[in-house]
Homo-oligomer: A and B are copies of this chain.
């Protein structure tokens, strides 16, 4: 059976309507649409076809129809006309408190949640590919060293090292020079085992410290890379009855809290050329979100320095709006970084 123009139009109407109301939509409702001019009976015939084709389904006999996952998918892929809503306020709100990148992201997640009425998440960009700008070891105590590690993009990591033996200032200076001359300009992935060996040799009796520092460098950057996810608007899920039942809500909320699960969304690399990806219902790998839709966007501050923004809401989410807002935020983040 062909999916002709009229069927498409009807499907679109069903989906649009359901997105708004969350109620199954019946044939009479659709027939009232002026640009169709068909009776409810005709619509019913078409709807029976659409159901047979799997685009819509009936929650129970003699109820209206709701879109199936397949229906949503078609809508998202071909019929959606993205609303280019302005969220310029975003930029202002973002800049206000954005002294540090984590504040910025926290704030962005909040703005996103408030603007869409869905739950939002943002993962911090990953720094693996960033090059080391410099490393600095400083004594903080008789046998404690502070390692400050600065990476491109001015990401700063600190690490305290406990020493077995004391270090004099001269040795410390030498170590600093040694580390900087060899490591600067490299990314984590670039630091090879053989290089570590060479460095250790050159450090002589202090090879242990070099090992520790390099390990710290790796740790500092890798460590929470998959954990730094900021969420906001969790309580928005209560606005949608289909998600608000105890069991589902509880599972969803613990997924947000755990964050570990959310990293799965981040790891997938972003869909089409715009970096926007839409998961509908079971398309996501997160079990507790099978009644949700998830829209993610990948932002890239610098070559290889990517993070993910995501919106989690009911399947009947306003895809048009969400995609628009995500794209806008994505480009704003990227712009903001350039300055």
Contact = CB atoms under 8 A, between A and B. Distances in A.
Interface of A: 99, 133-134, 136, 138, 140, 144, 146, 148, 150, 154, 156, 158, 160, 219, 231-235, 238, 244, 246, 249-251, 253-254, 257
Contacts of A134: 138, 140
Contact of A235 (B140, B238, B254): B254
A246 to B, nearest CB: 5
Tell me how many chains of this kind the complex includes.
Answer: 2
Counting chain B CB atoms within 10 Å of each CB, which of A219, A234, A235 scores highest? A235
Contacts of A146: 148, 150, 154, 156
A143 to B, nearest CB: 12
Contacts of A133: 140
B144 A140 contact: no
A251 B249 CA distance: 14
B244 A257 contact: no
Nearest to A239: B250
Given A136-B136, A238-B249, 4 more contacts: A136-B148, A144-B154, A234-B257, A249-B249
Contacts of A257: 231-235
12 contacts: A136-B138, A140-B150, A140-B154, A146-B148, A148-B148, A148-B158, A158-B158, A231-B257, A235-B250, A235-B251, A238-B246, A249-B249
Contacts of A136: 136, 138, 148
A226 to B, nearest CB: 14
A252 B161 CA distance: 40
A159 B251 CA distance: 38
3 nearest A-B residue pairs (beta carbon):
A238-B250, A235-B254, A156-B158
Contacts of A235: 250-251, 253-254, 257
A154 B150 contact: no
Contacts of A150: 140, 146
Contacts of A148: 136, 138, 146, 148, 158
Nearest to A231: B257
A136 B156 CA distance: 14
A79 to B, nearest CB: 33
A258 to B, nearest CB: 9
Contact of A253 (B144, B156, B158, B234): B234
Contacts of A244: 246
A148 B136 CA distance: 11
A48 to B, nearest CB: 36
Nearest to A254: B235
Contacts of A219: 99
A257 to B, nearest CB: 6
Contacts of A251: 235
Contacts of A253: 234-235, 238, 253
Nearest to A238: B250
